[in-house]
Amino acid sequence: MGSFVHRITFQQLNSTDPNSLPESVSNYVEGPDLSPVVGVPRIYWVLTGDIFSEMGPAAKSAVDIVLENAKFDSIADELDAIETITKAFAEVVLDELNTHSLQINEVLSAIEGASNFNQVKANFSAITGSTPRTLAELKTAVRGKL
């Protein structure tokens, strides 16, 4: 039994029988000297042959740039999802505003088309009102816009 470090992932396996490794033993460094990389994050490790060392400043900066770009890409992906939900919500609100505008136009037409108070009352009775919306209805409407 010995210790092994994967040549690509740098995953450490201690007290492991070579026959129980998940991959071929050739994919691992057996009994590596990790003293040069103690306290160094694995992303800054370099493997040359069977020797582990720490990256130099330029290589570390390159790794940092790649990681930062990946972080920004992840944030951009999250913004796309937020933008989609925000757009769907705005469409639902716009639909509600348009519904209320149509009802206001019906009220104005009922008044305009009446020649006396009884006719205004009759015209108003033909207008159907809207019911208050629930949170569940809002969620359903937003889902429908996604």
pLDDT of 8 above 80: yes
Residue 45's domain comprises: 2-55
pLDDT of 76 above 90: no
**pTM higher than 0.75, yes or no?**
no
DSSP 131: P
Considering the domain boundaries, does residue 64 fall inside one?
Answer: no
Do 21 and 50 fall into the same domain? yes
Produce one character per residue of 28-58: b if its CB has 16 or more CB atoms within 10 Å, e if not.
bbeebeeeebeeeeeeebebeeeebeebeee
pLDDT digits (tens, 9 = 90+) for 20-68: 899 999 999 999 999 999 999 999 999 999 999 999 999 999 999 999 9
Measured distance CA(53)–CA(36) in Å, rounded? 5
Do 15 and 49 fall into the same domain? yes
Note the pLDDT of residue 81: 76
Q: How many domains does the chain have?
A: 2
pLDDT of 11 above 80: yes
Do 84 and 136 fall into the same domain? yes
pLDDT digits (tens, 9 = 90+) for 80-132: 778 888 888 999 999 999 998 998 898 888 888 888 988 888 888 888 877 88
Do 75 and 130 fall into the same domain? yes
Of the candidates 129, 127, 121, the residue with the CA atom closest to the CA atom of residue 106: 127
| Structure tokens, 47 | 């493997």
Do 80 and 40 fall into the same domain? no
The packing angle between helices 57-112 and 135-145, to 10°, is: 110
Side-chain half-sphere exposure of 32, counting CA atoms within 13 A: 26
Q: What is the C-alpha end-to-end distance of the chain, expressed in Å?
A: 55
Note the pLDDT of residue 101: 92
User: Who wins on pLDDT, 17 or 26?
Assistant: 26
